[in-house]
Structure 1
Amino acid sequence: MRYLIAESNWDMMTLAQDLVTNGTLLTRTDRPEDLTHYMQIGQADLVVLAASQLGRDGVTLENLRNVRSCAPIALIARGASSEQKAAWLMAGADTVIDSQISCEEMLARLQAVARRAHGLGRPVLQYGPLRVDLMHRRAHLGDVRLKLTPKIYELLEFIALRPGRLVTRETLLTHIYGLENEPDPRVFDVYMCNLRAQLSASGGAVDIETARGSGFRFVVGDFEAAAIAA
C-alpha cells in the first residue's frame, strides 16, 4: 500500500522513517498545504498528518474530504483530549492515534485503517491457494513462499486488492514508483512476466489477464469462491 504523509514535525518525520523501514510505500511532503495537490495527482491508500496542522495553511479535514471523499485519513496527535478526538472524528477523520504509542502498534493501527478501506478486517488476502500477507509483505502459493522483490510484491498486492477490476499500466506504475522517474517499460514487463510465471503454478486458480491497450486484471478461477479475509 502507499501512504501520503505530511512531515510537519519531528513525530511525523520519525513515523515516516519507521514506515519506510517497514517497507511501506510513501509519498512524502514537508508542506502539509500541498496534501490536496498530491491527493489529486495520485491514489493513496491512507493520508497521514499531524492533528496540530489542522487550521494552518488552509489544511482542514473538509478540504481533504472534498478532494477525495473516500480516502481514509489518520490524524496523529500527542495528548489530545477526548473532546478533541471526538471533534476530529466527527469532522471526517477515520482515526486519531497518539504519537507516543509504540512503533509496532502505530504501524498496525495505520494499516488496519488502510486495509478496511478495501473491505478487509484482517491483514491477509486468500484466493484459493494464494495467500498474501499484507503486514509482513510476502505471499505463498500453497506451502511455497513466492520469491518476490519489493517491486513485484507491490505489483501483486495492488492488483490482488482489486480482484476483477481493470487496472491501467499508468496506475500501477504511479502506485509503485510514486513521483519518482518511472522505469524503462521493458523492466516493468519483466516484473509482470516474473509474477505471472510464479502464479502459473496455481494451475489457473489465479492469473493476471492483459486487456490490450488498457491494462491488467487479477482474475480468480472461481471468483465467487475467492476467500477474501474479513
Structure 2
Amino acid sequence: MKTILIADDDKNIRELVKYPLIAEGYHICEAADGEAALRIVQQQQIDLAILDVMMPYIDGYEVAEAIRVDNDIPIIMLTAKGELADKAKGFNAGIDDYMTKPFAPEELQFRIQALFRRYDVSNKTLLTVGQLVIDRKTYKVSKGTKDIFLPLKEFELIYELASQPERIFTREDLITRIWGADYEGNDRTVDVHIKRLREHLGDGSNVVIKTVRGVGYTLEVMA
C-alpha cells in the first residue's frame, strides 16, 4: 500500500483529497502546516506528497525543496495561483505537477497514477527490447554494436515506449509523461519527435515504432 502525504492548512481541502484516495486503497498522512509535513516525511516512508503553497510556518515551495534533499518521490503542488511565475517557482523547487484550485478530485487521482507510473519506470536504469539496449543512466541507446546518440526528448520517447512494448500510447499520454501536464504546445510536437526518432534509429532493427491512426504510437518487436 502506497502512502500519500496531504499537506494543506484547509481541512476541507484535505478531506476533499483524502477520501477518494482512501477509496482507491492509498494510506493517507495529513499535515496542516509545513513544519508538520516535514516531520512526517522525516519519520515515515512517504511515496508521494501533495503540498499546498500557502501554509503556516513553512510554505509549500520550501517544503518541496527540503523533501528533494533526501527523497526522490513525486510531488504535486496545489495552489490558488495560476500565474506562470508561480508555476516556474514550483518546478524549480522540485515539484512534478501542479494543480490550480478549484480542481476535480478525479483529475488529481489520474495525475497521481501517472506520476507513480513515471517514477516506477524511471527506477529502471537499463531496458533491453529487441535489438535495442536503452540505458537511462548514461542516456545511451545501442543497436547491436552501434551506439545511437539521441536528443533528450527523443531519448525519453524511446524509453517510454520501450518500457511497455505493444502498449498504445496516445499523444496526450506522451505529452504528459515527457513534456509535463502544463505543456502549452499541441500534440503535433509528438509527431515531429517520433519522425526524428525513427530517422535516428534507422533501418535494420527488429524494433518498430508504429502509428496507430487517430490514437497515437506503439513500439513492437518484430519476429
TM-score range for the pair, normalised by the shorter chain length? 0.3 to 0.5
TM-score normalised according to structure 1 size: 0.46
Higher relative contact order (CA 8 A, sep 6+): 1
